[in-house]
Amino acid sequence: MRVASPGGESLKKRELTFIIVALVLGAVLGGLVGELIGAYLPPGGAKTLFERAVLIGFQPVSVDLYAISFTIGLMFKINFVSVLFVMLVIIYFRWWYM
């Protein structure tokens, strides 16, 4: 499977998987770094910028049947630094692959 890029080139499936994993890791590490920085800042605007996060998704829903039970849910917690890290990953890969 090949995915066409805007420059007419194509990315191999392995490269696309690597980019997706890098974006997810960038978001996770960015969120962690943002929380750590926010924990050590004094109260004020900068602390709010680093600690405030937006939750996107839906809360877990549990279904309990007689023989089985399962829970379905998906929630993304996005903060300033996670967005910054994802943008840096995108800029890096645009520079590397384009």
User: 3-state class of 24 per DSSP?
Assistant: helix
Radius of gyration (C-alpha) of the chain in whole angstroms: 18
Question: How many domains does one find in the chain?
Answer: 1
Position 57 scores a pLDDT of 92
Residues present in the chain in total: 98
Q: What is the domain range of residue 7?
A: 3-97
Which residue from 92, 88, 97, 75 is spatially nearest to 26, judged by alpha carbons? 88
**Stretches in the chain below the pLDDT threshold 50:** 1-2, 8
What helix, strand, coil percent values describe the chain, rounded to 5?
A: 55, 30, 20
